[in-house]
A and B are shown apart, each in its own frame.
Chain A
Amino acid sequence: MPDDTSALQLVLSGDPTLFAIVRLSLFMSLSAVLFATLIGVPFGALLALTRFPGRETAIVVANALMGLPPVVVGLAIYLLLSRSGPLGFLGLLFTVQAMIIAQAVLVTPIIAALARQTIEDLWAEYRDEMAAMNIGPLQRVVTLIWDARFSLVTSLLAGFGRAAAEVGAIIIVGGNIDGFTRTMTTAIALETSKGDLPLAIGLGMILIAIVIVINALAWVARRVGERYAG
Chain B
Amino acid sequence: MRTPALDLPVRLLEVRVRTGAVAILDGITMMLEAGAPTVLVGPNGAGKTTLLRVAMGLIRPTSGLITWGGREICPPTRRAIMFQRPAMLRRSAAGNIRYALAAAGVPRAKRDARIAQLIADVGLKGLEHRPARRLSGGEQQRLALARALARDPDLLFLDEPTASLDPAATNAIEDIVRNVTARGVKVVMSTHDLGQANRLAGEIVLLHRGRLIESGPAAEFFASPRTEQTRKFIAGELLV
Give chain A's interface residues, CB within 8 Å of chain B: 122, 125-126, 128-129, 131-135, 139, 143, 147, 225, 227-230
How many A-B pairs with Cβ below 8 Å? 50
Which of B76, B87, B90, B133 is packed against the most chain A CB atoms within 10 Å? Answer: B90
The minimal Cβ–Cβ distance linking B41 to chain A, given in whole angstroms, is: 23
Chain A residues closer than 8 Å to B151, beta-carbon distance: 133
Chain A residues closer than 8 Å to B89, beta-carbon distance: 126, 129, 143, 147
| Interface segment out of the listed B2-10, B77-85, B189-197 | B77-85
Check A129 against B86 for contact (C-beta < 8 Å): yes
Q: Determine the distance from Cα of A228 to Cα of B104 in the docked complex, in whole angstroms.
A: 24
Give chain B's interface residues, CB within 8 Å of chain A: 56, 58, 75-77, 80-81, 83, 86-92, 99-100, 103-104, 130-134, 151
A133 partner, pick from B104, B130, B132, beta carbons under 8 A: B104
Check B90 against A134 for contact (C-beta < 8 Å): no
Secondary structure at chain B's binding surface: helix, strand, loop or mixed?
A: loop
Check A132 against B131 for contact (C-beta < 8 Å): no
Q: Determine the distance from Cα of A228 to Cα of B86 in the docked complex, in whole angstroms.
A: 19
The minimal Cβ–Cβ distance linking A144 to chain B, given in whole angstroms, is: 10
Check B133 against A126 for contact (C-beta < 8 Å): no
Q: Determine the distance from Cα of A130 to Cα of B23 in the docked complex, in whole angstroms.
A: 26
Check A228 against B100 for contact (C-beta < 8 Å): no
Chain B residues closer than 8 Å to A135, beta-carbon distance: 103
Check B87 against A125 for contact (C-beta < 8 Å): yes
Check A132 against B133 for contact (C-beta < 8 Å): no
A129 partner, pick from B87, B131, B134, beta carbons under 8 A: B87
Check B75 against A132 for contact (C-beta < 8 Å): no
Chain B residues closer than 8 Å to A132, beta-carbon distance: 56, 58, 76, 80-81, 83
Known: A229-B91, A230-B88. 6 other contacts (CB 8 A): A129-B87, A132-B81, A139-B103, A147-B89, A228-B131, A230-B90
Chain A residues closer than 8 Å to B88, beta-carbon distance: 230
28 A-B pairs (CB sep. < 8 Å): A126-B87, A126-B89, A128-B58, A128-B87, A129-B83, A129-B86, A129-B87, A132-B58, A132-B76, A132-B80, A132-B83, A133-B99, A134-B75, A134-B77, A135-B103, A139-B103, A143-B99, A147-B89, A147-B90, A147-B91, A225-B90, A227-B131, A228-B92, A229-B133, A230-B88, A230-B90, A230-B131, A230-B132
